[in-house]
Amino acid sequence: MANTYTQIHIHFVFAVKFRDGMIKANWVEDLYKYMTGIIQNNNHKLLAINGMPDHIHILIGLRPAQSISDLMKDVKQSSSKWINENKLTSRHFEWQEGYGAFSHSKSQINQVINYIQNQELHHKKKTFIEEYIDFLEKFEIDYDEKFIFKELI
């Protein structure tokens, strides 16, 4: 739309169902490329993507023509279908329901990119659940612990 100017940076976090470490090193780069394609095909700008075997972090420059929920639905549905069609896991792959979406100012972008690129280092110090709750509290988001990403029981 003419005369519409935006600068919207969103950091997404989402997990494998039951936080099962199903994302493997031998295909994770292909998964990131596939997700990058989905994001770019929706006219958003990928700034960073990385994760751990049980979860993913993505930072994008969001275009306002698409809602955050529609983008996440596309990324999660399409990528899980791609994983399953390519038989990359020994059993059915699914993403856990829900996601975190955190907005950042332009001045924070390099710091967030660095954070995403150094996931292995961060997770030597804290678990994914600790990390996720820290995000919720830092951004002052009310949450119910029963809806935090579930682990296998």
> What is this structure's pTM?
0.89
Q: Look at the block and give the residue holding tokens 């919720």.
A: 136
Q: Residue holding tokens 């612990």?
A: 145
User: How many C-beta neighbours within 10 Å does residue 16 have?
Assistant: 23
pLDDT for res 132: 87
CA 82 to chain centre: 16
- Distance CA(100)–CA(43), nearest Å, equals 21
**Domain-wise residue ranges, the chain:** 9-147
pLDDT number for residue 143: 86
Residue that has been written with the tokens 């059915």 in this structure: 92
CB-CB contact of 116 with 102 (8 Å): no
CATH entry, 9-147, from 3.30.70.1290, 3.40.50.620, 3.30.465.10, 3.40.1110.10: 3.30.70.1290
1-44 pLDDT, tens per residue? 577 888 999 999 999 998 899 999 999 999 999 999 999 999 99
Residue stretches of the chain with pLDDT short of 70: 1, 149-153
